[in-house]
Amino acid sequence: MIGVSILGSTGSIGKSTLDVLARHPDRYRVVAMSANSDVEGMRRQCLAHRPSLVAMADHASAEALADLLAAEAPEITVVSGVEGLKAVATHEAAGQVMAAIVGAAGLVPVLAAVEAGKRILLANKEALVVAGGLFMDAVRRHGVTVLPIDSEHNAVFQCMPEGYEQGLDGKGVRRILLTASGGPFRTTPVEELASVTPEQACAHPNWDMGRKISVDSATMMNKGLEVIEAHWLFGAAPERIQVVIHPQSVIHSMVEYVDGSVLAQLGNPDMRTPIAHALAWPERIDSGVASLDLFDVARLDFEKPDLKRFPCLGLAFRAIEEGGSMPAILNAANEVAVAAFLDGRLGFGDIPRVIEQTMDSLRGQGADSLEILLQADALARKTAERLLAARVT
């Protein structure tokens, strides 16, 4: 029996994880879960999955949840704040931790899980964008296994040769081909992008996801963050990572070898496949995902990404090339800009402008300590908020 902790259980990835786990009650037990402030969602999950510990990031939400559970499930302990999230991440009965908090808020809890020696199922790409170097050092120091949940990175992982961690050259890997759907605005005339609404941006053609990553997919910042994620996970220089637009989202990514072979992983666009893969690796378990019907798919298309249409992709390449704390700055400015867009305070077309201006006005520093990176994150948030305020008034 494998104990699983889920950071971000009430989100899109969290729910898909619980769906897969519920198919294998003989193999997995949910021991701990966390959420931000969705008390009712967490209450329902507690009653269905009976973990021993739950954390709410927000203190008032934790109190409200504890009141409800006192009558219904008094054996469940409720904690709160960053310390609570860390307790979920390091629960002694957990062998595996699903890191599915959205944003840089997930970094400190997932680092705690690494330091506690847990197997990490990593959905929270922002953690790697902010602190990829530190994260991978900690992974090596503690000898933990990281299994990527992001569908592209999970696909790359499945196509990589054994021992790729020792260097891609020695294993004959030439390039990573990272596929991207192009999001809902792949063919929208550029002049119409300025006026698109949050609802349009969140209506992804192939994937059903949380709102922040849905907007990131629409700007293609998601692919930019994923280039940085792939750089750290697979030790690949940015110029070895080619983004390929593939509107059907059936090929989840590819690895090209020096002999010209290109290995791909395919499947229906359903996150339960990478989740089940990572939960069971190196074995395989049923995920509940239907067989891929290639006759139904019928064709696979590919296009070059257009950096004029998707300036966020270029900003992400710039951040990784500048290195140090610049990816943390990019990520923080993006989180602020996307939240403002979802709140109706910023136009869609202004998202890349706020990010670029934040990057221009701050200098990247070294990325040698968590403190420096968290300071860069906080300063970039303040700067982006200031730029936003200046824009609206």
CB of 212 to ligand NAD, least distance (A): 6
Quick check: 228 binds ligand NAD (CB under 6 A)? no
Quick check: 181 binds ligand NAD (CB under 6 A)? no
Strand-strand pairing, 146-148 and 53-56: unpaired
Phi, psi of 10, deg, nearest 5: -85, 0
Cβ closest to ligand NAD, residue 202 vs residue 388? 202
Residue 311: Cβ-neighbour burial (10 angstroms; 0-12, 13-18, 19+): buried
Supply the DSSP symbol for 75. Answer: T
Positions in 363-382 near ligand NAD (CB under 6 A): none
Return the range that interacts with ligand NAD (CB under 6 A); candidates 18-26, 203-211, 246-254, 330-338.
Answer: 203-211
Integer Cα distance of 364 and 385 in angstroms = 18
H helix runs in 54-124, sequence order: 59-72, 81-89, 107-115
Cβ closest to ligand NAD, residue 31 vs residue 123? 123
CB of 261 to ligand NAD, least distance (A): 27
Quick check: 13 binds ligand NAD (CB under 6 A)? yes
* Position 155, amino acid: A
Of ligand NAD, Mg ion, none, which one does residue 10 interact with (CB within 5 to 8 Å by kind)? ligand NAD
Quick check: 100 binds ligand NAD (CB under 6 A)? yes
CB of 285 to Mg ion, least distance (A): 21
CB of 195 to ligand NAD, least distance (A): 25
Residue 106, classed as helix, strand or coil, is helix
Phi, psi of 256, deg, nearest 5: -105, 135
Q: How many residues bind ligand NAD (CB under 6 A)?
A: 26
CB of 187 to Mg ion, least distance (A): 20
Contact between residue 83 and residue 57 where contact means Cβ atoms under 8 Å apart: no
CB of 128 to Mg ion, least distance (A): 12
Question: Which string of x and - marks every residue 53-72 that binds ligand NAD (by CB under 6 A)?
Answer: ----x---------------
Quick check: 10 binds ligand NAD (CB under 6 A)? yes
Integer Cα distance of 209 and 1 in angstroms = 29
Token pair, residue 252, equals 């989840």
Token pair, residue 160, equals 């990589």
Quick check: 105 binds ligand NAD (CB under 6 A)? yes
The alpha-carbon radius of gyration of the chain (Å, integer) is 20
Quick check: 150 binds ligand NAD (CB under 6 A)? yes
Contact between residue 252 and residue 180 where contact means Cβ atoms under 8 Å apart: no
Integer Cα distance of 122 and 120 in angstroms = 6
Of ligand NAD, Mg ion, none, which one does residue 3 interact with (CB within 5 to 8 Å by kind)? none
Quick check: 14 binds ligand NAD (CB under 6 A)? yes
Strand-strand pairing, 173-180 and 251-257: antiparallel
Question: Which string of x and - marks every residue 25-44 that binds ligand NAD (by CB under 6 A)?
Answer: ----------xx-x------
Cβ closest to ligand NAD, residue 18 vs residue 139? 18
Distances (CA, A) of 60 to 36, 66, 162: 11, 10, 47
Quick check: 209 binds ligand NAD (CB under 6 A)? yes
C-alpha distance across the termini of the chain, in Å: 57
Which residue of this chain has its Cβ atom nearest to Mg ion in the complex? 150
Quick check: 335 binds ligand NAD (CB under 6 A)? no
Quick check: 150 binds Mg ion (CB under 5 A)? yes
Distances (CA, A) of 137 to 90, 109, 157, 233, 351: 19, 16, 19, 11, 32
Of Mg ion, ligand NAD, none, which one does residue 14 interact with (CB within 5 to 8 Å by kind)? ligand NAD
Quick check: 12 binds ligand NAD (CB under 6 A)? yes
Closest to 173 measured CA to CA, from 165, 161, 162, 163: 161
Applying CB under 5 A, which residues contact Mg ion? 150-152
Applying CB under 6 A, which residues contact ligand NAD? 8-14, 35-36, 38, 57, 100-102, 105, 123-126, 150, 207, 209-210, 212-213, 271
